[in-house]
Amino acid sequence: MKLSLGFSTCPNDTFIFDAMIHHKIDTEGLTFEVVMEDVEALNDKAFKQELDITKLSYHAFCYLTDHYRLMNAGSALGRGNGPLLISHKEQVDLQNGVVAIPGKYTTANLLLTVAYPQIQHKKELLFSDIEQSLLEDQIEAGTIIHENRFTYSERGLHKIADLGALWESRSGHAIPLGGIVTKREFPLELQKKIDRVMARSVQYAFDNPTESVAFMKQHAQEMELEVMKKHIALYVNQFTKDLGEEGKTAILFLFEEAKRVGLINTYQEDYLIS
């Protein structure tokens, strides 16, 4: 059975998906038609229900529990790995200035909304374009994700806030950034099979960390290997193997925060494959 599968070109995704799409593990008869996009493009495809399985932001998932269910494996969820709010200037006017976000439905935007509700002017940019827009003073501040958190200071940019740290200090929970979902309409046995294959692929990546290097380099050509390793170390952890009770509690808190700030009215409580 062939299923469409969406994930990003970022090292944390290519690292965990390498084994299943290249059949280095038992996929239980499943094959995959791969679609690789930026996370906000994947969010958009999820809203259109174009993909059978996809990586998406947990913020986007808040709106999509009617259509997708979450896998126990594959999540980017943890501590000390949240988005950063940065600027080119020492002093910034967040209330009146334009603040870039890497997408309306990214978890970065949700965390920014919770931390700085006074921001009135947001501009959506591809995550990799935010630093340059700051350097050209086209925007007041920008919310960065992925590998940019390792390189922004080298370009003369300044950190205003660690949005992940603010979230952790306020909530006490880990940060749910992105997860892997599959269509709710699929039979439960198929959902569970996909979840098993995902878990097997993640475990293979942990057990054979150098196996996916060629695949990662192919899709992150401008990134140095050491940066790729840091990227993986930051976003791939025990929660990626299995959410566990701690991860599930963090996700539930995120959903409730989305309700509190008026982003959603409700969500399906059976959002997790079980």
The distance of Cα 108 from the centroid of its chain, to the nearest Å, equals: 9
Burial 49-61 (b: 16+ CB within 10 A, else e): eebbbbbbbbbbb
Burial 196-224 (b: 16+ CB within 10 A, else e): bbbbbbbbbbeeeeeebbebbeeebeebe
User: Which residues face 4 on adjacent strands?
Assistant: 33
Q: What are phi and psi of 75, to 5 degrees?
A: -75, 150
Alpha-carbon distance of 165 to 182, in angstroms, equals 30
Q: Which of 146, 158, 219, 231 is catalytic?
A: 146
Alpha-carbon distance of 27 to 73, in angstroms, equals 15
Active site residue 59: no
Alpha-carbon distance of 82 to 234, in angstroms, equals 9
Q: What are phi and psi of 221, to 5 degrees?
A: -60, -30
Positions annotated as catalytic residues are 146
